[in-house]
Amino acid sequence: MAAMFEWSDLRHFLSIHRTGNLSAASRELAVNQTTVGRHLGQLEEALGTRLFDRNPDGFVLTAAGQELLPIAERVEAEALALERLTKGRDRKTEGLVRITTTEVLGSRYLAPRLRAFHERYPGVRVDIQTAFRALNLTRHEADVALRILPTAQSSLLVRKAGVIAYAIYAGRGYVERRGAPRTRAELARHVLLGYDESMDGAAEAQWMQEARGTRPYALCSNSTNTLLAGVRADMGVALLPCFAADRQEGVVRVLDGGTVLTRDLWLVAHKDLARVPRVRALMKYLADAIREDTAMLMGR
Q: What is the pLDDT of residue 172?
A: 94
Q: What is the pLDDT of residue 1?
A: 38
Long-range contacts of the stretch 21-29 (C-beta < 8 A, 24+): 21/58, 21/59, 22/59, 28/141
Quick one: DSSP state of residue 51? Answer: -
- 249-281: per-residue pLDDT in tens? 999 999 888 899 999 999 988 877 788 888 889
- 28-87: per-residue pLDDT in tens? 787 888 888 888 888 888 888 889 988 887 898 999 889 888 888 888 777 777 766 665
CA neighbours closer than 13 Å in the CB half-sphere of residue 75: 17
What is the Cα–Cα distance from 219 to 215, expressed in whole angstroms?
A: 12
pLDDT band at 214 (very low <50, low <70, confident <90, very high): confident
Mean pLDDT to the nearest integer, 206-228: 90
- CA quadruple 160, 80, 153, 155: dihedral positive or negative? negative
Closest CA to 254 of 182, 176, 178: 182
Q: Distance of CA 149 to CAs 42, 91, 225, 239, Å?
A: 39, 31, 19, 18
Q: The pTM is what?
A: 0.68
CA neighbours closer than 13 Å in the CB half-sphere of residue 261: 18
- 2-14: per-residue pLDDT in tens? 445 577 888 888 8
